[in-house]
Structure formats: structure tokens, C-alpha cells
Structure 1
């Protein structure tokens, strides 16, 4: 009963705008550490569902011309970082004597969009459940750290909101941490980061497709590869178009955008609830080391690209 009271209380505070994204994540992590998670409650599952809703609602705060401009600005950096990350993942994974599938999953999660990419690429290459769990755990841990570290680095280098938004979109794995870090930095950073991040997420399609072809070519395992494009990407594009071509509803759109931001904060609390010490230990040393190396390379490399 006490655990449910905590969840409801944080939901009220988050949806009311009384706590920030990093604080919500920290509260969730602390409660999980004390074992104050409601029984038979899967916070990660509900966080994923609500995150999709939040992203669709955030589309109401973006106009199509802005989206196209941001996507164009970030396209070169996204493409270069994606290819470099996937290649490095395989090379470093081989040096660490990791299984090829595990290295590819971590590389895909780092290069594209964290858990969503791993969930899409995993079935495409017929990865085992334990390989997917290791990749998800490693990426998940770094996502949580990024939410706190990136705004601090952004302020240290005095990044403007546009630059920070692009950097966060390219260098942070999951969409939840991208928009959480950007939301903590400012409204313009949030719009830029969300748009560029979802442009980056579209790379799930070619990466999963090519991964499936390669896996089918070099593997004799039975079964068909499957993958799917996250529904919230389509919804995000639709709400951007609505806000752009039906401007008479601007007052309503502003409210929807605000609701999306508030739901996002609660999502980060739920993500914190699912980040237990057991899950951190389960990530293992070598997969986590690979994830850290890739993360540092893409974070430092993309920041240098933007500052030069």
C-alpha cells in the first residue's frame, strides 16, 4: 500500500509540474533501491507506453519548417556517428571477445535509439534473450547517467539551446533520456532534441533491414526475422503536421505540448523505479565496458563536431 502511495504521489507532483526530470529519475531509483516498488507492477512497461504518448503530444509544439531545418542540420552528424558507432562496436566487441550479436545490439542501441533499436534489431538477427537483456541493461544504465551529466556539460561549455539539443539527440541513447536532458536545459533545446532524435530513430528501418539480411545470409538458425517501426514516430510526425497546417488550434496545441512534458517527467520516475542494483550487476563488465567506450566516443566526437 505504501509503495502505491509513493507512485501516486510522484505522479501528482510530476503531472503538476512540481518536480524536474532528473529529480523524478532519482526518486524512482531511490525507491527501487529500498524495494518500494508495488508488487506485480512493471514500471518499465508503463514507462515505454507513456513515453510514446508524451512524444506524440510534444509534436504539437513543433512546426514542420522547424522540424525540417533541425533534421537537415543534424543529418550529416547523425549519419557519420551511426556508421562509426556500428563499426566500432563490432571491432571493439571482437577485441573484448564478446559475442558478435551482443556487440551489434549494443552498437545499434548506442547508434540509434537505445532500447527501441535493440528491441527492433534483436529479433532481426535472432539474438537470444540473454544477449538482448545484457545490451538493454548496459544502455539503460548510461541513459540514466546521461540525464544528469549532459546538462552539466552543456552549461560548462555554454552551449546554446539549439546546439545542446542536437548534441543530446545524437549522443544520448534512449528517447526518454534525450528529451529529459533537453527539457532540463530549456524549451528550445527540448524541441530541437526531440525532432533530431526521432529523425535519428528512423534509422531503425534500414539498420534492422540490413541486419536481418546479413543474419539470414550467415546464420543457419530456423525462423524468420521480424522488426517494427515504433508507432510514436508516426504519431509525432502526424501531430507536427496538425500543428503546422491547422494553426487555428494553437491554444489547444500549447496545452497538449505542456501535457507531453509533464507525462515525460512521470515516465522518467517509472524508469528510475526499474533501475535496480540487480539490473546493474546483470549488465556484466565487458558489455558495459563496450557501451561506455562507444558512448564516450559518440559524445566527445559529436560535441567536437558541433563546436568546431
Structure 2
């Protein structure tokens, strides 16, 4: 996509920026802080399109936020990973994470054979549920050549579903106290976004939060091999293997490089805080753009059955990981 620094382009980026900032501010208020800025941004953008229409005159800037800023956010997301910590301290947890990712994707696809929802949307939801929510969906969608509307719907559903589950987890740890380590691993292995793990595991104390984040980051780490697997599968299923071109998501290389940087170079805490804030902002701006591509018509016709499949998958995943963690670990 060619970039022209004209007024519509700048205003389009500014449009997504304003909604993103408002979403972040709202997420600091009571009640809204349980929902999270990601879900607020998606919902706000969908409502804006429904009542006021898509801002066509700002389309170039909105598209830039949707595509370019989203990829930048995923690259910077790699700085959340310390590869040596995951490999050295989280070996057993990484095996659990592999099982979680495989189960979430395969089980939701299995369910969809009976529910008969939109296959593309269901697959994106399986990836988001199994790996790391919005970042995973955004990373895999170019490989699958997913529609932007499907990406927006799936990101919104995962954000909302993950918020509900994290609140339930937070309530359960209060009503039924359990070992902090077990609780943290359970939250980290079964909840959707890193933010959801922070919300839920934090309710169990600092020990639960630390092990929960380590477990969750193992699932983020699996985004790289999972992308390679999807590339191989999509390429092998191509009806015309000679002419079919599968675009490799090169921003994933940036994701891996940033992970390596965080592994081998000590970045000052102040700088990391600034980068983390910027990453969060760009990701939310991208979510605004994705939300603007979603219509209520799409939600009515495409989202209901996949949402049911994701809800069932999330419940079953939570139950299975609970017993695995409390009995086997």
C-alpha cells in the first residue's frame, strides 16, 4: 500500500488515535476497567460504523492503522518474550502450552462440524483462544488470507470472552482458594490475552501472577512455529501449487528478532515502559480500524455460531487445564 502524506491520511490515523486514547482512558474507570481498552475500542468502532457509517474520506489513514500499525505492534510485542526464560524455566510449562494450542484449534474445528459456523472465522477464534488473542489472530490472518471483517469480529469476540473468563477466575480464587502456583499456571495456560492473565492471576497474588505470565508467554512463543505450520498447510492445499503465492508474514521475523533482543540485551525499565505503552497504543489503534470493517450484518449472520463454538471450547479448555495442573503438576 503506497503511503501519501495528505490530509485524509493524517486525519485517518488521527481518527483511530483519538478512539484508542478514549478507550484507554475509559479502561481506567470502574466497570470499564474490567472490560479492557481492546474490547472497548472494537465495540466503539463497530458502533461508530453502525450509526455514523464508515469514515470513507479517511480510508487511507484508517487502512494504515489497520495494517501497518498492527504489524508494528506485533513486532514490538516480541519484546515481551525472554526466550531463555521460557526454554530454561518453563520447559514443562511449554509442553502444556503446546497441548493447549493444539487442543483449542482442533477442538473448535471439531465442534464446528456439528455447529456448521463460518469456517474461516472459527479457525481465527481457535488461534486466538489457543495462543494469545488479538496478536495471534493478526499474525495468522495474512497466511489464511482472512477478510478484515473476520479479523475484526474474531478479535472482538476473543477480547470479550477472555474478559468474562478472567472475571470468573478472579471470583473463583476468592471463593475457592487454591495453591498460587497452580492457580497461576491454570490462568496462564487457559486464558486468552496476556491482559486477561494479568487480571485473573493478579487476584491470586504476586507468585500466581509471575508463574501465570511465564506460562502465557510460552503460548506467545508458539506463535512462530504455529505460523510456519499454517504456511505449510496452506501451501500444500493449494490447488495450483506452481502459481499460488503464499505471502510470508515477514513481520513475524521482526517479532522473533525483538524476542532475541529482549533475551540477550538488558533494556532499561523506563525504556521498556515507554515501548510497552506505545505497543499497546498502536495495537488498539489497529483494533479501531478492524472494528470499522465490521458491520452488524456480519455479526448477525456470521458471528453467532462461531461464538458458541469458542465459548464451549473455552469452557472445556478451562476444565481440562484445571485438572491437568492440579493433578499432574
- TM-score by shorter chain over 0.5: yes
| Correspondence list, 1:221-236, <5 A | 223-228=244-249, 229=252, 231=254, 234-236=257-259
Secondary structure of the 2:177 match is: coil
**Which structure is higher in RCO with an 8 Å CA cutoff and minimum separation 6?**
1
After TM superposition, the score normalised by the length of structure 1 is 0.69
Q: How much has 1:289 moved relative to structure 2?
A: 0.4
CA contact (8 A) 1:126 1:215 kept: no
Aligned to 1:139: 158
For residue 311 of structure 2, the aligned residue among 292, 296, 302 is: 292
Q: Which runs of 5+ in 2 are unaligned?
A: 1-16, 49-54
**Aligned pairs for 1:29-44 within 5 A:** 32=44
Gapped regions of structure 1 (runs ≥ 5): 244-248
Structure 1 residue 300: Cα displacement? 1.2
Distance 1:272 1:199, change over 3 A: same
Measured after TM superposition, the shift of residue 171 of structure 1 is 0.8
Q: Which residue of 1 aligns with 2:210?
A: 191
In the alignment, what sits opposite 2:131? 112
1:86 equivalent to 2:102? Answer no
Partner residue in 1 for 2:262: 239
Other-structure match for 1:77? 96
**2:178 matches 1:159:** yes
Q: Which residue of 1 aligns with 2:52?
A: none
| Count of residues in correspondence between the two structures | 293
| TM superposition shift of 1:142 | 0.9
Aligned residue in 2 for 1:178: 197
What's the CA shift string for 1:146-180, capped at 9, x where partnerless? 33222222333323433233222211122332334
Q: Deviations over 1:237-292 (max 9, x none)?
A: 5335445xxxxx9xx54x56777888899899989987999597686210100110
Which moved further from structure 2: 104-113 or 120-129?
120-129
Distance in 2 (alpha carbons) for counterparts of 1:26 and 1:123: 21
- For residues 184 and 47 of structure 1, the distance between their equivalents in structure 2, rounded to whole angstroms, comes to 30
Given that 2:35 and 2:160 are in contact with CA atoms closer than 8 Å, whether structure 1 keeps it comes out as no
Q: Deviations over 1:91-147 (max 9, x none)?
A: 111111234333322222222222222222222233344443443333222122233
- Where 1:284 maps in the other structure, the secondary structure is helix
Tell me what 2:12 maps to: none
Give the whole-Å Cα distance in 1 for the aligned partners of 2:27 and 2:308.
36
Matches within 5 A, 1:2-17: 7=21, 11=25
Deviation at 1:6, TM superposition (A): 11
Aligned partner of 2:223 in structure 1 is 204
Assess, with a 3 A threshold, how the Cα gap between structure 1 residues 6 and 104 changes in structure 2: closer, same or farther. closer
CA contact (8 A) 2:27 2:35 kept: no
How many Å separate the matches in 2 of 1:99 and 1:224? 24
| Pair 1:96 & 2:115 matched | yes
Tell me the secondary structure at the aligned position of residue 85 of structure 1. Answer: helix
CA distance in 1, matches of 2:110, 2:187: 25
